[in-house]
Homo-oligomer: A and B are copies of this chain.
Amino acid sequence: MSSPLINQFEMPFQLYDVLAVEQLCQHQDFSEHSKETFDAVMDTAEKMATQLFLPHNHVADQNEPTFDGKRITMMQEVKAAFDAYREAGFIAARYPFEEGGMQLPETVNIALSSYFMAANPSSMAYPFLTSAAANLLSHFADDGIKRAFLPKMLSGQYTGTMALTEPHAGSSLADIRTTATKQDDGSYRIKGNKIYISAGDHELADNIVHLVLAKIPGGPAGVKGISLFLVPKFRLNKDGSVGDSNDVALAGLLHKLGYRGTTSTALSFGENNDCHGYLVGEPHCGLKYMFMMMNEARIAVGYGAAMIGYRGYRYSLSYAQERTQGRIAPHDKPNDPPTPIVNHGDVKRMLLAQKAYSEGGIALCLYGANLIDRKRIASDSDEQKDLAELLDLLTPIVKAWPSEYGVKANDIAIQVLGGAGYMREYMAEQFWRDNRLNPIHEGTNGIQALDLTFRKLWQDNGKGLSVLQRELINDLAKVDTPKAAVLVTKLTPYLEKLRVLLEHMAKSMQSASAMTLSGNAQAVMNVMAGIVVSWMWLRQAAIAEKLLAGQHSEEKTNFYLGKLQAAKYFINWELPLIDRDISVLMEDDATCVETREGWL
Could you say which of B422, B446, B573 contacts A347, with CB atoms under 8 Å apart?
B446
Encoded as 1 (CB less than 8 Å from any B CB) or 0, chain A from 348 to 365 comes to 111110010000000000
Q: Given A170-B323, A424-B257, do A342 and B418 touch, yes or no (CB 8 Å)?
A: no
Residue among A258, A407, A597 with the highest chain B CB neighbour number at 10 A:
A597
Q: Report the minimum CB–CB distance from A356 to chain B (whole Å).
A: 10
Could you say which of B258, B444, B521, B595 contacts A565, with CB atoms under 8 Å apart?
B595
Name A414-428 residues within 8 Å CB distance of B.
414-415, 418-419, 421-425
A421 to B255, CA, bound (A): 11
Chain B residues near A583: list those with CB within 8 A.
Answer: 576
A170 to B417, CA, bound (A): 10
> Judging by beta carbons under 8 Å apart, are B520 and A325 in contact?
no
A295 interface residue (CB < 8 Å to B): no
A525 to B408, CA, bound (A): 18
A592 to B356, CA, bound (A): 12
> Judging by beta carbons under 8 Å apart, are B599 and A572 in contact?
no
A450 to B346, CA, bound (A): 9
> Judging by beta carbons under 8 Å apart, are A172 and B437 in contact?
no
Name A232-247 residues within 8 Å CB distance of B.
none
Q: Report the minimum CB–CB distance from A86 to chain B (whole Å).
A: 28
Chain B residues near A142: list those with CB within 8 A.
Answer: none
Among A144-152, A281-289, A300-308, A554-562, the stretch in contact with B: A554-562
Encoded as 1 (CB less than 8 Å from any B CB) or 0, chain A from 494 to 519 comes to 00000000000000000000011111
A569 interface residue (CB < 8 Å to B): yes
Q: Given A195-B419, A254-B423, A436-B414, do A584 and B592 touch, yes or no (CB 8 Å)?
A: no
- Indicate how many identical chains form the complex: 2
Closest-by-CB residue of B relative to A264 is B423
> Judging by beta carbons under 8 Å apart, are A572 and B600 in contact?
no
> Judging by beta carbons under 8 Å apart, are A345 and B411 in contact?
no
Could you say which of B257, B347, B561, B595 contacts A599, with CB atoms under 8 Å apart?
B561
> Judging by beta carbons under 8 Å apart, are B171 and A326 in contact?
yes
> Judging by beta carbons under 8 Å apart, are A346 and B591 in contact?
no
Encoded as 1 (CB less than 8 Å from any B CB) or 0, chain A from 431 to 449 comes to 0110011011100111001
A580 to B598, CA, bound (A): 34
A440 to B416, CA, bound (A): 10
Chain B residues near A257: list those with CB within 8 A.
Answer: 422-424, 429, 433
A141 to B345, CA, bound (A): 38
Closest-by-CB residue of B relative to A256 is B422
Q: How large is the interface on A (under 10, 10 to 19, 20 to 34, 35 or more residues)?
A: 35 or more
A133 to B459, CA, bound (A): 63
Chain B residues near A425: list those with CB within 8 A.
Answer: 254-255
> Judging by beta carbons under 8 Å apart, are A346 and B172 in contact?
no
A470 to B139, CA, bound (A): 69
Q: Report the minimum CB–CB distance from A254 to chain B (whole Å).
A: 6
> Judging by beta carbons under 8 Å apart, are B555 and A598 in contact?
yes
> Judging by beta carbons under 8 Å apart, are A593 and B165 in contact?
no
> Judging by beta carbons under 8 Å apart, are B170 and A593 in contact?
no
Could you say which of B170, B522, B600 contacts A419, with CB atoms under 8 Å apart?
B170
> Judging by beta carbons under 8 Å apart, are A418 and B518 in contact?
no
Q: Given A342-B597, A345-B515, A351-B600, do A592 and B569 touch, yes or no (CB 8 Å)?
A: yes
A221 interface residue (CB < 8 Å to B): yes
Q: Given A257-B429, A323-B170, A597-B343, do A592 and B349 touch, yes or no (CB 8 Å)?
A: yes
Q: Residues of A with Cβ closer than 8 Å to B?
A: 165, 169-172, 174-175, 195-196, 220-224, 254-258, 317, 321, 323, 325-326, 334-335, 338, 340, 342-352, 355, 407, 411, 414-415, 418-419, 421-425, 429, 432-433, 436-437, 439-441, 444-446, 449-450, 515-522, 554-555, 558-559, 561-562, 565, 568-569, 572-573, 576-577, 579-580, 583-584, 589, 591-600
Provide a sorted-by-A list of 27 A–B residue pairs whose CB atoms are within 8 angstroms: A170-B323, A171-B325, A220-B334, A255-B424, A255-B425, A256-B424, A317-B600, A344-B518, A345-B516, A345-B519, A345-B520, A346-B519, A346-B521, A348-B600, A349-B522, A415-B446, A419-B440, A422-B436, A422-B437, A432-B436, A558-B596, A561-B598, A562-B595, A565-B591, A569-B591, A573-B589, A576-B580
